[in-house]
Amino acid sequence: MVMSKRMRVAAIDTSTDMLAVCVAELDGAGAAAPAVRVLASGDHLCRRHANVELIGSLDAALAAAGLSLGDIDAVLVGRGPGSFTGVRIGISTAKGLARGAMVPLAGVSTLDATAWRAWCAGARGLVAVAADAMRGEVYPALYRIEDAGVTRLFEREQVVKAADAAAAWAARPDAEELQLTGDGLVRYGKLFHEAGLMEHALERDLWWPTGEGIVRAAAAAGGPAALGDGDPALVLPIYTRLSDAEENERKRLGLAESPSAQATGVADELAGRHLQYRPLGAADAEAAAALEAACFAGAAHTPWTAAQFLEELSPAAAVPRSWWVAHDDGDLIGIAGGMIVDCDVQILDVAVAPARRRAGIARRLLAHVSYDAQMLGCTTASLEVEAGNEPARRLYAALGFTEAGVRRNYYGPGADAVVMTAPLPLVLPVDAASPEPTAAVRRAWPQPAPARTPDEQAELARRRPVLAIESSCDETAVAIIDAEGRLLANKVSTQIDFHARFGGVVPEIASRKHVEVIVGVVDEALEEAATTLGLTGGALAPAELAAVGVTQGPGLVGALVVGVAFAKGLAYGAAKPLITVNHLEGHLFANLLAQPDLKPPFIFTLVSGGHTMLVHVRAWGDYEVLGETLDDAVGEAFDKVAKALGLGYPGGPVISRLAEEGDPQAIAFPRAMMHSHDYRFSLSGLKTAVVTYIEQETAAGRTIHLPDLAASFEAAVFDVQFKKAWDALKQTGAREYCLGGGVAANPHLRQMLVDKLGRRGVRVTLPPRDACTDNAAMIAEVARRKFAEGDFSDFSVDADPNMTL
Ligand code: KG4
Ligand code: ZN
């Protein structure tokens, strides 16, 4: 990022209840810290409403400054720490704004912005910020404030008990001089008062960060150019703790028992029927050493031994470690680990079984290690690689590692080591579409507008490409579709590995991963669309889109807000209309990707991880929900049964694979509500029946025949689905039927419905299999229709986790 002499910036921060907005001019003519001139501010307290008000407040501030976003040279954002959702909204919006306007993005600590807010108000001396971290905790931060500026007296943001922060500050010899501020005083003021610290507290209206505080913190650091290279993909929240699920998982690291045996009482050989990733445990040490020996026999790198792995797991290790393994069918096939020194994760080892190479396993393992490292405050990764090991060097280069030096004869005479370093997060290619890493693309920011020929411009005007974003659960997906319904790009980055070991989606991890990958997935889609269209001047620019669509709900609220906030920023930044899409309608519209002439009226069955519905589609947009599940969704039942068997997450694919070879009549599981004479479903009883069966068989010392169990379970679910779908067709007189949702990918369900309903004269439409599980192509299909109808959304829309059809 190049710092021009004078630049205009837009700053936002929603990490606290203060919605902080500022438009300012930085004058950096040769000075280390550019001078700040505030043009307009829009700071106001706005509790839990940031996603509704943020773009409007920014728009108002820009208008007050007589500007539009097109006049802005860089976006600045507060990276927290603060409310997880608040930080995510600010950062996602800022990423969208910067990407949409093709300007650089830079982030600063919200704690620094709070200290600068005090500076603006004239506070001088020793200032202690206690920012609210909820749950009895604060983010403590100590600053020296002088006329010349604000100096940090701590290294890294952290979270501590409010009482501990109070005790530590009260024990300082200079406690008398401390002036407290920060929004943590609202909740814990009494505690700080009792510690004798509130006497010199700053006035209450200074306890929050301001937009000007963000701008001044950035200016003091040398301006946006000094804060990174400007790529919006690389700006991430400041986290001070892992998700609860991961904290607990870490505590489990090093336990001797196998987690699956512990959780289910099912034999260990059932675990890991398919490729999965989990943290290294003590029980893996022997297998890990064997893998090392197989990988590095005769190589310069000395294989790690079992004893060394055990040492890595020891809680007594001086610095934090992160080790991950890949396993398949119970076999350990890959391992990678790193240790955290200051803010760098030093990759100690990467090994993948020779037969399993070139499948992206090393990349996935490194993704897990570097994710842990990032959560522990790392900003870079480093490693050594044999100079002669070309494949490894290519892999690392694709992940964003660049050569930082050479260690001569490091691995013995003549065997040099190349030292490579990379900024975090690593460059992780989008999974489904491109399993092999492509070369890392590092863009120069700000990005120039692509050059187009008049013909290309005419083509784009005719195609009217709509970009759609899906982030309701654990896939970050982006698709671009043209006005005629042709897909120009379809990308998905799945987080399944990050959730698999928990047996289901962990909402906090899902939200974090969306924030981390969303810009990368959008970039890939924009590039793919340019390739599809044969454009020569580079990736599609946001300004060349006709509109931006996004899933508004239903789904996980923390996941949805990332997509919605980003999409709003992108649309506003590129000055394009915003379109919101109902995820369930997306699953329905996936059928149009297979059968463009599908027309209501028809019966639609939605079977996904969160929903089970039978719907009479009377017209597009006119949905009569005939019945829903009373308890678990069908996909959820698959997931719970798989979890009970120690088969990991998600359950659908592994159970349907097992069912291939099973007998659907082997075990008589109940067909709940089969004869209830309505369209309601219930699946929790079936799940209980399966779990009881597993327990009984295990107690009786019999081994469970997994294929039979899987096939019998499927049959019990699908029989009811068919019965009620056929009843609905008869009752409504509809002659068309279609299916949607993740479970619609199940080959047995598809075949059965085509056979049985086809025989009865019903035309059955099925979405393409890869459009059944969550994807953005289906969202794009809905968005395209809404675009044609001019059905746009206001920038005040928020995610709606409880939307229905
Ligand atoms: O639609 P989806 O991707 O996410 C939601 O909107 O919920 O559905 C995910 C669900 C998971 O429960 C997964 O186990 C299930 O779809 N699923 C399957 C299959 N593939 C995915 N269920 C049965 N058979 C499959 N082949
Ligand atoms: Zn879905």
DSSP symbols for 195-262: TT--TTPPPGGGSS--HHHHHHHHHHTTSGGGG----GGG------S--HHHHHHHHHTT-SS-HHHH
Whether the CB of 638 sits within 6 Å of ligand 1: yes
641, two tokens = 């049964």
Task: Write down the residue that tokens 């501030």 correspond to.
Answer: 61
Contact 532, 488 (CB under 8 A): yes
Whether the CB of 558 sits within 6 Å of ligand 1: no
Ligand 2 center from residue 596 Cα (angstroms): 21
Whether the CB of 742 sits within 6 Å of ligand 1: yes
Q: Whose CA is nearest to atom 14 of ligand 1?
A: 652
Ligand 2 center from residue 211 Cα (angstroms): 37
CA 579 to CA 549: how far, in whole Å?
Answer: 4
Report the chain's mean pLDDT, rounded to a whole number. Answer: 89
In this prediction the pTM is 0.84
Question: Rounded to an integer, what is the distance from CA 7 to the centroid of its chain?
Answer: 32
State the pLDDT at residue 432: 34
Rounded mean pLDDT, 361-370 = 85
State the pLDDT at residue 443: 53
Ligand 2 center from residue 479 Cα (angstroms): 15
Q: Whose CA is nearest to atom 7 of ligand 1?
A: 609
Ligand 2 center from residue 741 Cα (angstroms): 5
Whether the CB of 679 sits within 6 Å of ligand 1: no
The band of 446, judged by pLDDT with boundaries at 50, 70 and 90, is low
Give pLDDT tens digits for 711-725. 999 999 999 999 999
41, two tokens = 């501010």
Of 274, 492, 773, 804, the one to substitute when testing ligand 1's pocket (max ligand atoms within 8 A of C-beta) is 773
Task: Give percent of the chain above pLDDT 70.
Answer: 92
Contact 562, 511 (CB under 8 A): yes
Residue that wins the pLDDT comparison between 258 and 598: 598
Whether the CB of 553 sits within 6 Å of ligand 1: no
Rounded mean pLDDT, 479-488 = 96
Ligand 2 center from residue 609 Cα (angstroms): 7
Ligand 2 center from residue 608 Cα (angstroms): 6
Of 473, 638, 683, the one to substitute when testing ligand 1's pocket (max ligand atoms within 8 A of C-beta) is 638
Whether the CB of 237 sits within 6 Å of ligand 1: no
CA 575 to CA 577: how far, in whole Å?
Answer: 7
If one counts every other C-beta atom within 10 angstroms of the C-beta of residue 751, the result is 12
Closest CA to 568 of 231, 106, 104, 93: 93
Whether the CB of 746 sits within 6 Å of ligand 1: yes
CA 587 to CA 801: how far, in whole Å?
Answer: 16
By CB neighbour count within 10 A (0-12 exposed, 13-18 middle, 19+ buried), where does 496 fall?
A: middle
Give pLDDT tens digits for 669-680. 999 999 999 999
Q: Whose CA is nearest to atom 4 of ligand 1?
A: 609
- Residue 741 Cα: closest atom of ligand 1: 1
Task: Give percent of the chain above pLDDT 90.
Answer: 66
- Residue 714 Cα: closest atom of ligand 1: 23
CA 162 to CA 175: how far, in whole Å?
Answer: 16
Rounded mean pLDDT, 152-169 = 93
CA 487 to CA 492: how far, in whole Å?
Answer: 14
702, two tokens = 């019999």
Give pLDDT tens digits for 197-249. 999 999 999 999 999 999 999 999 988 888 888 999 889 899 887 777 776 66
CA 736 to CA 751: how far, in whole Å?
Answer: 16
Ligand nearest to the CA of 636: 1
Give pLDDT tens digits for 582-611. 999 999 999 999 999 999 999 999 999 999
Ligand 2 center from residue 321 Cα (angstroms): 36
β-partners of residue 142 are 128
State the pLDDT at residue 439: 37
State the pLDDT at residue 71: 95
CA 414 to CA 411: how far, in whole Å?
Answer: 8
Q: Mind listing the domains of the chain with CATH numbers? A: 1-241 (3.30.420.40), 247-423 (3.40.630.30), 464-594+770-805 (3.30.420.40), 597-766 (3.30.420.40)
Ligand nearest to the CA of 634: 1
Whether the CB of 586 sits within 6 Å of ligand 1: no
Ligand nearest to the CA of 635: 1
Residue 748 vs residues 714, 715, 753: alpha-carbon distances, Å = 8, 9, 9
Ligand 1 center from residue 534 Cα (angstroms): 35
Whether the CB of 651 sits within 6 Å of ligand 1: yes
Whether the CB of 28 sits within 6 Å of ligand 1: no
Give pLDDT tens digits for 184-207. 999 999 999 999 999 999 999 999
Give pLDDT tens digits for 71-94. 999 999 999 999 999 999 999 999
Rounded mean pLDDT, 512-526 = 93
Whether the CB of 774 sits within 6 Å of ligand 1: yes
Q: Whose CA is nearest to atom 5 of ligand 1?
A: 609
The band of 664, judged by pLDDT with boundaries at 50, 70 and 90, is very high
The enclosing H or E element of 763 equals strand 763-765
State the pLDDT at residue 160: 94
